[in-house]
Structure 1
Amino acid sequence: MEYRADFFLGVFGQILGYAADYVILWLLIQSFSTIDGWTWPELAFLVSLNILSYAIGASFTYTPTANMEELIRTGDFDKYLTKPLNTLMYLIASMFNFGYIAHITISLSILLWSVTALPVQWTFLKILYLICILIGGAMIQAGALILVSCWGFLFTKSQYLFSLYFKMKEFISYPMSIYAPFIQICLTWIIPLAFINYYPSLFLLGKQEGVLVYLTPLLGPIFLSVVIKLWFAGVNRYQGTGS
């Protein structure tokens, strides 16, 4: 908070940017009424789950993972290895990003609005399930960012993969059912982004039930644990770049 004006202007700009995404989606709905049967409140709920879970997970992991390429290239990563601390936790603690308060503000606001606008009976179990999928979705989002950064241990350069990840994440702003089967398979079983918001939304909105809708709370911790093991495997083989 040393530069408060800069911080708050940045937050305001981020809120405007994500608000524009919601407006674009709303304009599409005005033209087509629904998208594969999904109404505006349902789509707002779908997108908000994506943005809110990302904001929670990225608050801890985006800055350290996005900086991994530079840390490895310059040799600055070595200083994190000299401390008697868990390397990943040290990175996260030293680079926690408070700027994601903007993402949380806009997505949580729209999420709460959509919850009241939807004809859904919110029981205690559904509210508990919603909290669990937000936590599980945040773990998937955090795990995906850590996984991308692992590439840096092998090839030093990893920044371009972040752009690819964010392009892929845009797919889950819309129902998976509008995509070809190949894309649905990729976003379900290869990079499990569909579990962040699509499958949970099917259950909460009463569109579909099945085993997939219950996997997010379980898949999040499992995916994150596996990715963390891969990250430390990369640390163990890290030998510096000779900078």
Structure 2
Amino acid sequence: MQQAFRVIPFLVHLYVKSRMEYRSAFLLAIGAQFFSYACGFTSLWVMLLRFDTLGGWSWPQLALLFSFQLLTYSLGAATSFVQLRDIEEKVRLGTFDTLLVKPFSPWAYLVFSGLNIGYAGHIALAAGLMAWALTQVGVDWNFGTVAYLVAATISAAMVNAAIITMIGATAFIVVQSSHLYTIFFGVWELSRYPLNIFPAVLQWTLLTIVPLGFASYVPMAYLIGKDIAVLGSWGGPLSLLAGPVLVLLAMAHWRFAISKYQGAGG
């Protein structure tokens, strides 16, 4: 275990160094992502100029919801998405076998040898918009509020990373799991809006089957004192538990899925 912790910083350093070999392309990609999400935020702002609120949420409140969703997704996906998305190809080509003979956890090697610093643009935009929104929504700041925001951010990032990990690990069982990412991102797009604007079936879906509501709507509704659809006053505490619980489920799913892996020889 101690050896693994010593190797992790080295893996991260190697990956960052490799990405910086093509610095212009890296910066261009970050700029493109920043501009893309900025356009999405702007389109919502323009819509709110016309209709004032969406499901009882004003523009600053929705800006907080959008920015929190993007920030926590970026933090979670940086340690999971690209790395776990590529498992399908590694399984299909048989190159995952090489990780099984390393004196290191295959999951840790995948995650930290490909830590995605490309999400820096997402994080910068989300953090900036969130900082502004927090000054506009009238949060009663105290130690408890700050502690909740920090804990909710960590938990929400864990929710995203856990779901992505479970999708990636499914490739050990069915080989092709990329179609599940299409479903994930479809639901992720919905999770940037208040749950109360959706029918009951979608509300339950975002809190159970694909619980991305805990990575956006629930913690932010609790923070600014909104009534939380379905969960009510339980929403705040449950949003802090969602991340750790899903990580434990992801760990169990990873172990189960990798036990079903048959290797390149079938």
Name the amino acid aligned to 1:132.
Answer: A
Q: How many residues align?
A: 243
5+ long unaligned stretches in structure 1: none
Q: Superposed, which structure 2 residues align to 1:80-159 within 5 Å?
A: 80-159=99-178
State the match for 1:73 in structure 2: 92
In structure 2, what residue type is equivalent to 1:234?
A
* Secondary structure class of the residue paired with 2:206: helix
* Structure 1 residue 189: Cα displacement: 1.9
Amino acid corresponding to residue 69 of structure 2 in structure 1 = N
- Which contiguous aligned blocks of 4+ residues in structure 1 show a shift greater than 3 angstroms? none
For structure 2, list consecutive stretches of 5 or more residues without a partner in the other structure. Answer: 1-19
Residues 127-186 of structure 1: per-residue CA shift (max 9 Å, x gap): 110010100000000011011112211211111211211111011111000000011011
Match of 1:190 in 2: 209
Residue 211 of structure 2 aligns to a residue in which SS? coil
Q: How far is 1:36 from its partner?
A: 1.3
SS at match of 2:135: helix
Cross-structure match for 1:218:
241
Displacement of 1:17: 0.7
Hey, what's the Cα distance between the residues in 2 that align with 1:181 and 1:241? 44
Could you tell me how far apart the structure 2 residues matched to 1:90 and 1:8 are? 25
Q: Secondary structure at the match of 1:118?
A: coil
Q: Which is worse superposed, 95-104 or 227-236? A: 227-236
The CA RMSD measured in Å over matched residues stands at 1.2
Distance across 1 between alignment mates of 2:257 and 2:115? 22
Equivalent residues in 2 for 1:14-33, closer than 5 Å = 14-33=33-52
Amino acid corresponding to residue 222 of structure 1 in structure 2: V
Match of 2:74 among 30, 34, 55: 55
Give CA deviations for 1:187-217 in whole Å, capped at 9, x if unaligned. 1122211111211112111113611221122
Task: Tell me the equivalent position of 1:2.
Answer: 21
- 8 Å Cα contact 2:69-2:216 kept in structure 1: yes
Deviation at 1:117, TM superposition (A): 1.6
Aligned partner of residue 262 in structure 2, secondary structure = coil
Contact 2:191 2:212 in 1 (8 A): yes
What does 1:165-184 correspond to in 2, within 5 Å?
Answer: 165-184=184-203
Q: Which moved more, 1:94-103 or 1:146-155?
A: 146-155
TM-score normalized by the length of structure 2: 0.89
8 Å Cα contact 2:74-2:122 kept in structure 1: yes
Paired letter, 2:197: I
- The DSSP-based 3-state class of the residue aligned with 2:115 is coil
More off after superposition, 41-50 vs 149-158:
149-158
